[in-house]
A and B are shown apart, each in its own frame.
Chain A
């Protein structure tokens, strides 16, 4: 465990149980996931039971317990997107990237997940790569979108 890297995050908080979610968010952003040793240290420092941290970490989709890829692909499967072909996008992405939903591609470039709603139902179906939205996506647009991120 890189103590200094974690300390840089923890030192900016008071060390109270209510700091848990912001601290986990920073670790997630910084490390790409929540590593086990770091989580244990957070439990100790914030005085939060380890099981509660795992309960929180598995509750919110924004946290991951396994390393994520460089780019996060999120496909919306909310009601509208679902009806407008979201599942087809998932299948297409899954086969093109060679990865199941919830996992990361072998080369560590892409993580694929499905989400409940991205708040842009008028432009369904919607997907996101990292912070960027892609609206009215069809299956044939998928290779183009991925190309933007494939290095």
Chain B
């Protein structure tokens, strides 16, 4: 620690901090304009100047001067005031004084600074420098004449968002904020708006709707992806005015602009019951009676095994926990699964094989009456953790990685916060990045090595990397005790390095360069997403990456971890809370000795249920154990399961179907009873983010006709003879947290596995399948994946803000391929696979290699899953429609 004085006050500070940071921590006011806690300082506005002794006779900028032992800092003196006032006059010289109509009024840093510094009047004149405002761009409005050229937005956009969509234009006195061409062509995340100290960047959704001081603020977790960001919801008269993040300013477009979807006319507001073959509006009483009656009839006729449950990655931990409790404690079956079966669950099972399933022993507790959403367990000295949870990464530590491999993921669309994490990591000079993807992505720009492999060849790339690693360093040994290494090395001998490279479609030299980066890294991170997991052999892809991490990873070093993407708000939670046919809450096995304690000593069925995909097979075979009734907690099965026409046919065989959803989805249209649910800030509850962070939703809005999932489950379960009654979601959290020592130390904004539990890791190398053949002979390989502006189908309903940026799904083609097919951007094309066809608009994307096409998964039309069989990769032909 360093001892210094600020304004005569003795202060202890950590070395490496700046005077401004230390002053802020200690509540000492130093004015500033260009500094922002989320950015690196540039010391350009000079308003934060302070007198420093010992030091040069001139004042120094507090934001860019480090604290030193014995420093005496003076933050206020007549000389400093004079300097600051003069600087403020220069800032104000050309500032458009439109405060009465400026949206920033009341929260403008320039306004407050002018007031705080008592700038009397601007007695300077200058050539007026005015540029017209940009009203044309989507979502963001720009007023260059209000800009104070602090460069916060430019730095944020360049260093953290990585879009580099805004920059300074002109020079000297005439310097202004610009984007080169109009309108703005960027990621439309709007982060620049929240970091702007003045009203130069305006949120079009917020403009003229409320003044800053009129809003009430609620902090909550964002429900638009698995990133787990928290933001402030600003409300006026019970309506959302805007979403705001003053702390780090970073949010993605969905998070910041997606909320109008809540008031979509497509939202279901009353329950629906099928009467004479048609879905008719009904009261809650009628609908719950109908649902209970229908389910009861099936259960009485065919036994408890006849009901199958599908949990939801959109629903809270509490709802999902109750859902599986109904099946396990009520019906005594394990007949349930969740839609992450198609991607994230594959990663879990691979990680389970290589690193073991998570377990925490000797946690202290459960203590009575912990605070809301806090684990009753604490970590004590001999607490020990094991299993894969402890090799999963935390978002906050990603910037500390010194190398990263991004495999098969267009990272920002998959999970925007991971993109920011990698951007933060690359601010370090020694950071090395390997980007491997069949398509070009944003991160290729910063990649030390880019590997452009054939679609579906992920495993060959990973095998090639390991082969190259072991060739260069034959004595390479894993950082943690591992079994099966020798046999594993044998399995890699199937091909030579050259063969791996040629089969994957990459250069040997690139593989070697990438391997060298991973071998030298002290904290390598491995990031991968649903695009690679959604393949038929996605579990093998995950296995390959888990093996690679076992070989090169440095578990325990901050930043060195596996970062699999759990795409939706609670994809990780729905799995960890046991909505799986073979795992209990806390991912415990069915035969765990702790299991009976879950529901008052009632025995847990030892027979795992069928998975979601097995259920479809059972239905197809008309097997006696095929479910006759289905209870889906959301999750539009038709939209997400591959081979849509088959799914549609098979769901038709289900006798009785209850669907809880916020929208009239295609699956809901097949249901017998549809129960409309609360979403976003209409309900309370918790989510677990992709990187393990516990986020809490707050009920800030009134629910118009809808009910939260947990209440529906309680009422329906009770009507089915499984009484459930809870006061609020916090009580449900308290119930399951008592059974899950893995969550020891967990509290809001803390991350699972990041609560100080010492981990004892070991691993087993598991050989993986190397066959990457894709059936069919059609000329194009179609990848079905995510686009930046959408999260599942949630954001595809009007008036969601991001729909103005990406209003529809288009099939993207390489420009040369398109030219050969005589297709131009905007033309209609028919995309035909052996299982179906869709019509879609054509978009041109030079980042796609020849012979590869891309179609987003989000939209009702074109329905991507019409084309698929069992993977998000499918061979198609494309022709002019």
B169 touches A58 (CB 8 A): yes
Give Cα A47–Cα B440 distance, bound, in whole angstroms: 12
B170 touches A51 (CB 8 A): no
Give Cα A58–Cα B176 distance, bound, in whole angstroms: 10
Question: 1/0 contact trace for B838-854 toward A, CB 8 Å?
Answer: 00000000100000000
Contact of A52 with B167 at beta-carbon distance under 8 Å, contacts A44-B846, A47-B445 already known:
yes
A58 touches B165 (CB 8 A): no
Contacts of A47 in B (CB 8 A): 445
Contact among B164, B181, B185, B846 for A52, CB-based, below 8 A: B164
Asked whether A5 is an interface residue with its Cβ less than 8 Å from the other chain, the reply is no
Contacts of B168 in A (CB 8 A): 55
Give Cα A59–Cα B167 distance, bound, in whole angstroms: 11
Given A50-B181, A51-B165, A51-B178, 8 new contacts (CB under 8 A):
A44-B846, A50-B180, A51-B166, A51-B167, A54-B180, A55-B167, A55-B168, A58-B169
How many chain A residues have a CB neighbour from B under 8 Å? 13
Asked whether A53 is an interface residue with its Cβ less than 8 Å from the other chain, the reply is yes
Contact of A54 with B164 at beta-carbon distance under 8 Å, contacts A36-B181, A44-B846, A47-B445 already known:
no
Asked whether A108 is an interface residue with its Cβ less than 8 Å from the other chain, the reply is no
Asked whether B114 is an interface residue with its Cβ less than 8 Å from the other chain, the reply is no
Asked whether A98 is an interface residue with its Cβ less than 8 Å from the other chain, the reply is no
Asked whether B115 is an interface residue with its Cβ less than 8 Å from the other chain, the reply is no
Expressed in whole angstroms, the minimum distance between the Cβ of A143 and any Cβ of chain B is 30
Asked whether B369 is an interface residue with its Cβ less than 8 Å from the other chain, the reply is no
Give Cα A51–Cα B182 distance, bound, in whole angstroms: 11
Give Cα A95–Cα B445 distance, bound, in whole angstroms: 49
Residue among B166, B169, B846 facing the most chain A CB atoms (10 A cut-off): B169
Give Cα A101–Cα B168 distance, bound, in whole angstroms: 22
Cβ < 8 Å to B, chain A residues 3-58: 36, 39, 44, 47, 49-55, 58
Contacts of B178 in A (CB 8 A): 51, 54-55, 58
8 A–B contacts, CB within 8 A, in A order: A47-B445, A49-B164, A49-B165, A51-B164, A51-B178, A51-B179, A52-B164, A58-B170
Which residue of chain B is the closest to A59 with respect to CB atoms? Answer: B171
Contact among A36, A44, A49, A59 for B170, CB-based, below 8 A: A59
Expressed in whole angstroms, the minimum distance between the Cβ of B782 and any Cβ of chain A is 24
Contact among B167, B171, B846 for A54, CB-based, below 8 A: B167
B181 touches A58 (CB 8 A): no
Give Cα A39–Cα B166 distance, bound, in whole angstroms: 16
Contacts of A44 in B (CB 8 A): 846
Contacts of B181 in A (CB 8 A): 36, 50, 54
Which residue of chain B is the closest to A53 with respect to CB atoms? Answer: B180
Which residue of chain B is the closest to A65 with respect to CB atoms? Answer: B180
Which residue of chain B is the closest to A55 with respect to CB atoms? Answer: B167
Contacts of A55 in B (CB 8 A): 167-169, 178, 180
Give Cα A104–Cα B341 distance, bound, in whole angstroms: 65
Which residue of chain A is the closest to B171 with respect to CB atoms? Answer: A59
Expressed in whole angstroms, the minimum distance between the Cβ of B682 and any Cβ of chain A is 39
Q: Which 8 interchain pairs have the tightest Cβ spacing?
A: A54-B180, A49-B164, A51-B167, A55-B167, A58-B169, A59-B171, A51-B180, A58-B170
Give Cα A59–Cα B178 distance, bound, in whole angstroms: 12
Give Cα A44–Cα B166 distance, bound, in whole angstroms: 17
Question: 1/0 contact trace for B479-507 toward A, CB 8 Å?
Answer: 00000000000000000000000000000
Expressed in whole angstroms, the minimum distance between the Cβ of B210 and any Cβ of chain A is 31
Give Cα A51–Cα B445 distance, bound, in whole angstroms: 15
Residue among B171, B180, B846 facing the most chain A CB atoms (10 A cut-off): B180
Question: 1/0 contact trace for B803-832 toward A, CB 8 Å?
Answer: 000000000000000000000000000000
Which residue of chain A is the closest to B170 with respect to CB atoms? Answer: A58
Cβ < 8 Å to A, chain B residues 132-165: 164-165
Main DSSP-derived SS at the A contact region = helix
Which residue of chain A is the closest to B166 with respect to CB atoms? Answer: A51
Expressed in whole angstroms, the minimum distance between the Cβ of B149 and any Cβ of chain A is 13
Give Cα A62–Cα B445 distance, bound, in whole angstroms: 28
Expressed in whole angstroms, the minimum distance between the Cβ of B300 and any Cβ of chain A is 66
Expressed in whole angstroms, the minimum distance between the Cβ of B181 and any Cβ of chain A is 7
Cβ < 8 Å to A, chain B residues 172-216: 178-181, 185
Give Cα A49–Cα B171 distance, bound, in whole angstroms: 18
Expressed in whole angstroms, the minimum distance between the Cβ of B188 and any Cβ of chain A is 15
Give Cα A49–Cα B169 distance, bound, in whole angstroms: 13
Which residue of chain B is the closest to A43 with respect to CB atoms? Answer: B180
Give Cα A51–Cα B170 distance, bound, in whole angstroms: 12
Give Cα A59–Cα B180 distance, bound, in whole angstroms: 12
Contacts of A59 in B (CB 8 A): 169-171
Which residue of chain B is the closest to A17 with respect to CB atoms? Answer: B445
Expressed in whole angstroms, the minimum distance between the Cβ of B849 and any Cβ of chain A is 15
Give Cα A58–Cα B175 distance, bound, in whole angstroms: 9
Contacts of B166 in A (CB 8 A): 51
Question: 1/0 contact trace for A47-86 toward B, CB 8 Å?
Answer: 1011111110011000000000000000000000000000
Give Cα A52–Cα B180 distance, bound, in whole angstroms: 8
Give Cα A2–Cα B178 distance, bound, in whole angstroms: 27
Expressed in whole angstroms, the minimum distance between the Cβ of A36 and any Cβ of chain B is 7
Contacts of A58 in B (CB 8 A): 169-171, 178
Give Cα A90–Cα B179 distance, bound, in whole angstroms: 31
Give Cα A50–Cα B403 distance, bound, in whole angstroms: 27
Contact of A54 with B169 at beta-carbon distance under 8 Å, contacts A36-B181, A49-B164 already known:
yes
Expressed in whole angstroms, the minimum distance between the Cβ of B871 and any Cβ of chain A is 32
Give Cα A44–Cα B846 distance, bound, in whole angstroms: 10
Contacts of A39 in B (CB 8 A): 180
Question: 1/0 contact trace for A122-144 toward B, CB 8 Å?
Answer: 00000000000000000000000
Give Cα A58–Cα B181 distance, bound, in whole angstroms: 12
Contacts of A54 in B (CB 8 A): 167, 169, 178-181
Contacts of A51 in B (CB 8 A): 164-167, 178-180
Contacts of B170 in A (CB 8 A): 58-59
Contacts of B445 in A (CB 8 A): 47
Give Cα A36–Cα B181 distance, bound, in whole angstroms: 9
Give Cα A39–Cα B846 distance, bound, in whole angstroms: 16
Contacts of A53 in B (CB 8 A): 180
Cβ < 8 Å to A, chain B residues 381-418: none
Contacts of B169 in A (CB 8 A): 54-55, 58-59
Contacts of A52 in B (CB 8 A): 164, 167
Give Cα A49–Cα B846 distance, bound, in whole angstroms: 15
Which residue of chain B is the closest to A36 with respect to CB atoms? Answer: B181
Expressed in whole angstroms, the minimum distance between the Cβ of B600 and any Cβ of chain A is 61
Contacts of B846 in A (CB 8 A): 44
Which residue of chain A is the closest to B176 with respect to CB atoms? Answer: A58
Expressed in whole angstroms, the minimum distance between the Cβ of B485 and any Cβ of chain A is 40
Which residue of chain B is the closest to A39 with respect to CB atoms? Answer: B180
Residue among A39, A44, A54 facing the most chain B CB atoms (10 A cut-off): A54
Give Cα A55–Cα B178 distance, bound, in whole angstroms: 8
Residue among B167, B168, B846 facing the most chain A CB atoms (10 A cut-off): B167
Contacts of B167 in A (CB 8 A): 49, 51-52, 54-55
Give Cα A44–Cα B164 distance, bound, in whole angstroms: 14
Residue among A44, A49, A51, A54 facing the most chain B CB atoms (10 A cut-off): A51
Give Cα A119–Cα B159 distance, bound, in whole angstroms: 39
Expressed in whole angstroms, the minimum distance between the Cβ of A54 and any Cβ of chain B is 3
Give Cα A7–Cα B28 distance, bound, in whole angstroms: 58
Expressed in whole angstroms, the minimum distance between the Cβ of B44 and any Cβ of chain A is 16
Give Cα A90–Cα B13 distance, bound, in whole angstroms: 59
Expressed in whole angstroms, the minimum distance between the Cβ of B449 and any Cβ of chain A is 15
Contacts of B171 in A (CB 8 A): 58-59
Which residue of chain B is the closest to A58 with respect to CB atoms? Answer: B169
Give Cα A60–Cα B445 distance, bound, in whole angstroms: 25
Give Cα A138–Cα B18 distance, bound, in whole angstroms: 56
Question: 1/0 contact trace for B328-366 toward A, CB 8 Å?
Answer: 000000000000000000000000000000000000000
Question: 1/0 contact trace for B427-469 toward A, CB 8 Å?
Answer: 0000000000000000001000000000000000000000000
Give Cα A37–Cα B709 distance, bound, in whole angstroms: 53
Contacts of A36 in B (CB 8 A): 181
Expressed in whole angstroms, the minimum distance between the Cβ of A81 and any Cβ of chain B is 18
Which residue of chain B is the closest to A52 with respect to CB atoms? Answer: B167
Give Cα A45–Cα B710 distance, bound, in whole angstroms: 54
